[in-house]
Homo-oligomer: A and B are copies of this chain.
Amino acid sequence: MPRFFTDHIGKTQARIIGDDAVHIGRSLRMRLGDEIILCNAGTEYVCKILTISNTEVVCDIVSSHKTTAEPSISLTLYQAVPKLDKLEFIVQKATELGCAKIVPFLSGRCVSRPDAKSFAKKRERLSKIALEAAKQSGRGICPEVADIISFKQAVSELSQNDVALICYEKGGKSLNEICFDYAHSVGVMIGSEGGFEQAEANLCVQNGAVLIGLGPRILRCETAPVAAVSIIMSLTGNM
């Protein structure tokens, strides 16, 4: 059944506006009475279409239930901005694999250093990629792609998680040595192409993060987050 995210959930009816409304009427050629699934904040609503226009689709809510696709942990990926379109790839894969939030930041070795204005445009595109990946993978929420922040801000946010991890190319603990029991929020920080400077790793540790090594093979900066997120989801029983 087609799946959409919407903020417009009422008691008995729900609305879809914008691009998705056009998509339902034109591309999917759906008709009145057809069923769709609407998602909002981790709840799935099975709905029947009442009216379709170019600007709005109105539905009756038939039933609702908590989605079973959301992981038991809230995993935030803090990702140093890589070159080219690698961030798009990372956002797509992190969404499929169950991340709750993706926070891009600038570390000392980031080569690509977009300013706030040019990142605003990029962020719009990244949010669209997250939304499409969330729909396609059957997520109950669409992960937020946060605004770009400084390394210091990222460390501060990272350390607020119940479990805070930084993947460091010079090694550290294995993910399977980390205790995730009772952790609700987990944060994992990954570097860009050049990895992290020693001082950056130190700052993370001073702020309570644990250094993680992803094994003896050198992973590309877009492979590391996919591997780390997959392993964390497996270790916490979410995969």
Contact = CB atoms under 8 A, between A and B. Distances in A.
Interface of A: 68-69, 71, 93, 96-98, 136-139, 174-176, 214-220, 223, 226-228, 230-231, 233-235, 237-239
In this complex, the member of A216, A218, A223 whose beta carbon has the largest number of chain B beta carbons within 10 angstroms is: A216
Given A230-B230, A234-B234, A137 B239 contact: no
B96 A239 contact: no
In this complex, the member of A98, A234, A237 whose beta carbon has the largest number of chain B beta carbons within 10 angstroms is: A234
Nearest to A220: B96
In this complex, the member of A216, A217, A220, A226 whose beta carbon has the largest number of chain B beta carbons within 10 angstroms is: A217
A226 B230 contact: yes
A194 to B, nearest CB: 14
Count of identical protomers in the assembly: 2
Given A226-B230, A239-B227, A217 B97 contact: yes
Contacts of A227: 97, 226, 230, 239
B223 A93 contact: yes
**Main SS class of interface, A:** loop
Nearest to A226: B226
A217 B98 CA distance: 7
Contacts of A238: 215
7 contacts: A96-B217, A97-B223, A136-B218, A175-B239, A226-B230, A227-B239, A228-B230
